[in-house]
Amino acid sequence: MSKVKWSSLGLSVVVVIALVIWMATGDIKNASIKPPAKQEVAQQERTRVQVTTLNAQRYEPGLLLQGQIEPWSAVNVSARVAGTVETIEAELGDAVKAGAVLLTLSEDGRRAGVERWQARARKLDADLAAARTLRSSNLASQSEILSIESELAAARAELKNAQLEVSHLRPTAPFDGVINSKNVEAGSLVQVGSPLYELVRIDRLKAKGQVPQQSVAQVAPGQKVRVRPLDGDALDGVVTFVASAANPETRSFAVEIAVENPQEKRIAGGSANLRVALADVQATFISPAYLSLGDDGRPGVKYVDEQNRVVFRTVKLVSVSTEGAWVTGLPDEVRLITRGGGFVSEGEYVEPVDAADERG
């Protein structure tokens, strides 16, 4: 083999050896720069929110109405016969019993009329007895007897009217009450129908109000009512009547409430707030500031569940005041988000911090 051929063969061997060495060193280098196994990504830091633990309670909700207080009974005592007032028996503000005489009117010959008709009735009664005796002996006709009976009936009717007029000379109180107004004085001349007194009963009162049509199904006779007049002293009452048909103009239903007033407070004729007690419910008391609107426009609150996840729950407002709101629809125990709720979304995991711990 020539020298040139050996030279070419050696060069080829050298190139192959170099290529093998390069490839081997390249694999080692690639192995050395290969990234390590993927490490677990650190948990993202959660948003901190302040929570307060609240517990549901038994609550008696109430339906608030505006009402008017009236006397339980009120009547104008009027003259039933004409005459002159001779004596006054009751003055303004007097408490009177049923049947008590209020005043006395002049007789003007009415008692004499009673006596006259009494005598007439006695005579006719005797005539009738005699006619019946004669009739038994066929000495009197049946028509004569009927004529006397007719006259006797008319005389008795006149006697009754005369006696009634005499009784009307002394008007009496129709029920226990208080004289609220007085329209006559001694010597006053009154005619039939002239007003004499206004008598009211205030140991028991009547409160009236209007129930909106959307709430009337919650009200029924027998329900307890708290009646608070403008003076602030509350009284107890009971629903006695709920209208079966609404007022066509206001679409509300009339309601009447019997109110006990044993101290006879002077509140009849005034306005009052009426709170009709409804059935007890399990409710939670919260600040109205924690309420927000859901996507459907209904009110709700955000709280944190056992997995520290944000939950938005729609609630029903049972009662709302400046002090707070009673709501239903929440769990019996709830960790309500009281701060930071605007920065978290429903379903998001958060880090809850108890408000009591932060204050401490």
Smallest CA-to-CA distance from 301 within 310, 309, 333 is with 310
Domain assignment present for residue 101? The answer is no
Total domains present in the chain: 3
Domain assignment present for residue 336? The answer is yes
pLDDT, residue 17, reads 55
pLDDT, residue 191, reads 95
pLDDT, residue 32, reads 43
Residue 140 and residue 156 in one domain: yes
Residue 356 class from Cβ within 10 Å (0-12 exposed, 13-18 middle, 19+ buried)? exposed
Side-chain-facing half-sphere of 286: CA atoms under 13 Å: 32
Residue 254 and residue 293 in one domain: no
Residue 348 and residue 300 in one domain: yes
pLDDT, residue 355, reads 76
Residue 223 and residue 257 in one domain: yes
Domain assignment present for residue 92? The answer is no
pLDDT, residue 41, reads 35
pLDDT, residue 40, reads 40
List the chain residues with pLDDT less than 70.
1-44, 139, 232, 357-360
Residue 229 and residue 298 in one domain: no
Domain assignment present for residue 347? The answer is yes
Are the CB atoms for 319 and 215 separated by under 8 Å? no
Are the CB atoms for 340 and 39 separated by under 8 Å? no
CA atoms of 181 and 201, how far apart (whole Å): 13
Residue 330 and residue 261 in one domain: no
- The CATH number of whichever domain residue 318 belongs to comes to 2.40.420.20
Residue 156 and residue 221 in one domain: no
Domain assignment present for residue 222? The answer is yes
What are 335-355's pLDDT values in tens digits? 888 888 778 888 889 888 887
Phi then psi dihedrals of residue 205, to 5 deg: -120, 170
**Which residue segment(s) compose the domain that 331 sits in?**
49-58+281-359
What are 22-55's pLDDT values in tens digits? 455 554 444 444 544 444 433 468 888 888 888 9
- The CATH number of whichever domain residue 217 belongs to comes to 2.40.30.170
Whole-structure pTM over 0.85, yes or no?
Answer: no
pLDDT, residue 357, reads 64
Residue 323 and residue 264 in one domain: no
Residue 159 and residue 220 in one domain: no
Residue 271 and residue 292 in one domain: no
Single residue among 255, 277, 299 that ends a domain in this structure: 277
Domain assignment present for residue 259? The answer is yes
